[in-house]
Chain A
Amino acid sequence: MRFSTRSGPRGRAWSEVTKVQDMRNLLDPAFVARLEGLRLLLKNRHRGGARGERLGRRRGASLEFAEHRDYASGEDLRHLDWNLLARLDRPYLKTYVEEEDLYVSFLLDASASMGFGTPSKLDRARRIVAALAYLALGNLDRVSLAVFDRSLRSLRPAVRGKASIFSLLARLASLEARGETRISSGLSTFARSRASRPGLAIVLSDFLDGEGAVAGLRSLAARGHELLCLHFVDEDGEELEGDLLLEDAETGETLEVTVNQDLLQRYRDQERAHREGLHRAATALGGRVLLVDGQRSLESVVLESLRQRGVVGP
């Protein structure tokens, strides 16, 4: 991707981008160059909204053959399979898969807990959103962005076209980590909204919610979304030791702990159990989970992990 300074709508967008220096951090031009030729892959076909470059469920006009069916009187003779007619002496029509666009919904957790880590989990999440959104928009898919914390904080309707990336980046750059997390509430609200269209739903969160995320994920799956959960983890327990007063960044609650090896081991066990629980819930709903820790770079996540899991591919 190359940013130009010419006048016109794009020129104005670029000027906005230049005003927000963080935006450049979200989508580094060198990284963008490595994204060229990639696109988002899906396990299932979904019904799109308009013609696109992705095979949909519906029959239509494309080069992808779907099936033969009996000819009915009055149908367009251009689709008649003349070879079959000559061989079998019966008229059959050739049908093709309609090429449609895809709804890609990014559901980003912007609660206070996402502000931890170096770089913060929110920073890493929005860079991933920017990269994947760029891929989607480049493939004529529709991209929507829902930000939630205690509830759905903001919902940006689906946009299409590469030019939309700038407004998306601006929105991402302006996000701040604050508030409590109620994942299920945010996801369920999105699933019920009109902006929610069956497609790929990418949930980016640390899933640190006492009430759990299963209900929200189930709402998305029921709505026809294919789930991809990016689980952001941080190793905050590793360096803790001694008598501490832990304060919850979201609720402000305090907890007196004396961290020793036994407690640390139990914390790690809980962390592992939490990850496995999320994994089981998402898998049961046909989704996928990718663990994103602070030690992995954006390139590693997008170009390696997501490719290995079949989320991104040529």
Chain B
Amino acid sequence: MSFLRGEALWHLAWALPLLVLLWILKKKRERLVVPSTLLWQVALAEHRAHTPFRRLRRSLLLLLQACVLLLLVFALARPFRDGTRLEGMRLVVVIDASASMNARDVAGGRMAAAKRQVARWIDGLGPGARMMFIRAGARPTVLSSFQREGRRLHRALEGLEAGFGPGDLDGALRLAEEACAAPRPGDRIVVVSDGGGRAASTRPVAALPVEWILLGQGGENLAITSLQLRQNPFSAIDLQAYVRVVNLGREARSFDMRIEAEGSLSDLKRIRLDGGASRAVVFRRLAMESGSVRVSLDVDDDLPCDDEVWAVVEGRSRLAVHLRGPAAPFWEAALRDHGLVRLVKTPEEAALVVSDGSAPLSESLPCDRLRFTTAPVAFPSGMAGRLVEGPRIVDWDRGHPLLRFVELDELRLRQVRILPVPEGFRSLVRVEEGPIVVAGLDGRGHRSLTFGFDCLQGDLPLKAAFPVLVQNLVAWCLEARDESASHRAGEVVHLDVGGERELRLRTPRGKLRVLRPAGGGVDLGPFEELGIWRMSGKERQWRFAVNLFDEKESSLSGRRREREKREKGERKEGRTAPGRATVEKAAVSRRSLRRETWPWAVVLALVMLFLEWGLWRRRAHGL
């Protein structure tokens, strides 16, 4: 016996104690003969009239009324029985395998509950009925094509597990639609889900009834929704970890958050979070240059898979910088002690070339460029504008990463060259006549920063803004080389692997897959396991982390509410498409599939009500 609206049973929380109270209420009164009860009756009537409550008395009528109440509450919960024999029909069962199906808020977990439900349908398969399963994971898969044999279906069902990413219910419904290409009367699609999916209910599917079996009751859950590692620019081994944790339950929780670097505990913090609140936690001074980081919560909640996250730190190579021109000593002084920079002598081995003065800078160099010049020969073709003497800076882009904390209002320049702003570039500094500093990506994806003045024809190297500008420049260039080594569950990523011909991919659970790249790259995903993934080729190895980082999946109660709200809204709007199944049709279909037993409860309640009425008449009127 299950309930369509199990929450209605909460009414028993007050109805049942009331019933028990009525049964245990047996007041033993002392019998006392008095001359007359005349005055007592009047006094008692007056006393009762001034008392808001009266004492409960044991009464058969009251007991019957309580039973009627219980039966009505029972009926409100809409009990139903499954196991209806499915005859002469095809049933496509789409089982949500998103991460939230791992939740343990129902007995055995949501996935176990879904499997129990489907197992009952398998047992109820009648003559001519066939069933197929589709697993709605990050990539929908058919677990079993249309089968009659319960044994095979049970076997297919046994191997079903929830994944750790979002569930693609849309894709699963498309698969179901394709499976029932020629629908027959009685065919239907049943989606067993906890309410997740990518807006599946708003998309009408084939001309088949679709019914939703919603699971889950909503529970307490804490989740880590973000983990970012940032390196101290002045130290190659100093990491900072920024973690965001959310309490998606209603109750306040206190717990320990621990961070481990390469398997050893680095730090531990005691956190307290109110229900519905979130908090950013920062771990500083993680002494590591490369390796894996794991952050976990010591907490027992209903969804454990979002209680731990991973990140990979790759050893970052220093930025190779080549300096040329008369202002090179200033730059050298500013960059010499930078922990993430090394100076090189030739532009070919540099990742960044800083050019000053009139020396031309080749556009073919595969590196980032920084120019300080007014000489027309030093500009790419078409970049050099007119020359302006004694300009006055009127504005600069304070929000750009290059000019963050850089003050230019007192900068004095002898002459500047007005620069056009090519496509893909933006103006960073302007004088009255036009832009004098532009930045952007050139046609080959390299960063280019051009200053329309000579570094030594002004007092920029002597200003406090100069070292800040240098620091911003290094960070800007390093950022371009930072390949993110973290992916979200369910993502599909493309990875350049160079000349590798065969790759061995090992999942966090240790499964090994052999990949053969095509065109110098390989597509990975959708990822359905959380943790550190490792891939190795002949020349290079890769590591990356896969995390859930999905607040919607982690929210155990919000999804079902969202689904029910969406269904309700669609019914109200009457959103129907000719020849296509709608949610309204699905509701009709659901009623026909299940055998609801609430009418029996109502009938019984009416009988008891009639009995109570008859008893009352007999007592009141002696009939």
Contact = CB atoms under 8 A, between A and B. Distances in A.
B496 to A, nearest CB: 87
| Interface SS majority for chain A | mixed
18 contacts: A116-B34, A181-B36, A206-B36, A236-B35, A242-B30, A244-B29, A244-B30, A246-B33, A247-B33, A247-B34, A248-B38, A249-B34, A249-B36, A253-B37, A266-B46, A267-B43, A269-B43, A270-B39
A245 B29 contact: yes
B333 interface: no
Contacts of B51: 262
Contacts of B31: 244-245, 247, 254
Counting from the closest, the 8 A-B pairs by CB-CB distance are: A113-B35, A208-B36, A266-B43, A245-B29, A267-B43, A248-B37, A270-B39, A116-B35
Contact of A270 (B34, B43, B50): B43
B55 interface: yes
A257 B42 CA distance: 12
A246 B39 contact: no
Interface string B21-63: 0000001111111111111111110110011000101000000
A198 B288 CA distance: 124
Interface string B520-557: 00000000000000000000000000000000000000
Contacts of A253: 37
Contacts of B32: 240, 244-247
A275 to B, nearest CB: 11
A150 to B, nearest CB: 14
B39 A271 contact: yes
B39 A267 contact: yes
Nearest to B50: A262
A258 to B, nearest CB: 6
Given A113-B36, A206-B35, A254-B37, 10 more contacts: A113-B35, A209-B38, A210-B38, A243-B27, A244-B31, A245-B29, A257-B44, A267-B43, A270-B42, A271-B39
Interface of A: 112-114, 116, 181, 206, 208-210, 234, 236, 240, 242-251, 253-258, 262-263, 266-267, 269-271, 274
A76 B528 CA distance: 144
Contacts of A243: 27-30
B68 to A, nearest CB: 25
B39 to A, nearest CB: 4
Contacts of B39: 208, 267, 270-271, 274
Contacts of B34: 116, 236, 246-249
Interface of B: 27-44, 46-47, 50-51, 55, 57
Among B28, B38, B47, B57, chain A packs the most CB atoms within 10 A around the CB of B38
B29 A262 contact: no
A146 B502 CA distance: 129
| Interface SS majority for chain B | mixed
A256 B29 contact: yes
A236 B33 CA distance: 10
A236 B32 CA distance: 11
B29 A263 contact: no
A86 to B, nearest CB: 70
A247 B41 CA distance: 11
A112 B36 CA distance: 9
Given A234-B35, A246-B37, A258-B55, A263 B44 contact: yes
Given A206-B35, A255-B40, A266 B47 contact: yes
A250 B37 CA distance: 9
A211 B477 CA distance: 108
A249 to B, nearest CB: 5
A248 B36 CA distance: 5
Nearest to A268: B43
A20 to B, nearest CB: 26
B42 to A, nearest CB: 5
Contacts of B55: 258
Contacts of B40: 246, 255, 257, 267
Nearest to A259: B40
A249 B43 contact: no
B36 A250 contact: yes
Among A113, A242, A250, A270, chain B packs the most CB atoms within 10 A around the CB of A270
B69 to A, nearest CB: 25
A208 B35 contact: yes
Contacts of A271: 39
A305 to B, nearest CB: 22
Nearest to A233: B35
A80 B10 CA distance: 108
Contacts of B44: 255, 257, 263, 266
Among A112, A240, A245, A269, chain B packs the most CB atoms within 10 A around the CB of A245
Nearest to B48: A263
A256 B31 CA distance: 9
Nearest to A255: B37
A258 B35 CA distance: 18
A130 B11 CA distance: 71
Nearest to A208: B36
A251 B44 CA distance: 18
Contacts of A258: 55
Nearest to A267: B43
Contacts of B41: 255
Among A209, A236, A251, chain B packs the most CB atoms within 10 A around the CB of A236
Nearest to B29: A245
Nearest to A113: B35
A258 B48 CA distance: 11
A249 B33 contact: yes
A210 B41 CA distance: 11
Among A247, A250, A257, chain B packs the most CB atoms within 10 A around the CB of A257
Contacts of B36: 113, 181, 206, 208, 248-250
A210 B34 CA distance: 15
Nearest to B33: A247
A251 B38 CA distance: 10
B179 to A, nearest CB: 71
A209 B28 CA distance: 29
Nearest to B36: A208
Nearest to A117: B35
Contacts of B42: 270
Among B28, B32, B36, chain A packs the most CB atoms within 10 A around the CB of B36
A208 B29 contact: no
Contacts of A254: 31, 37
B30 A208 contact: no
A178 to B, nearest CB: 13
A152 to B, nearest CB: 20
A11 B147 CA distance: 123
Contacts of B43: 263, 266-267, 269-270
B35 A249 contact: yes
A263 B50 CA distance: 10
A251 B30 CA distance: 19
A256 to B, nearest CB: 6
A190 B35 CA distance: 24
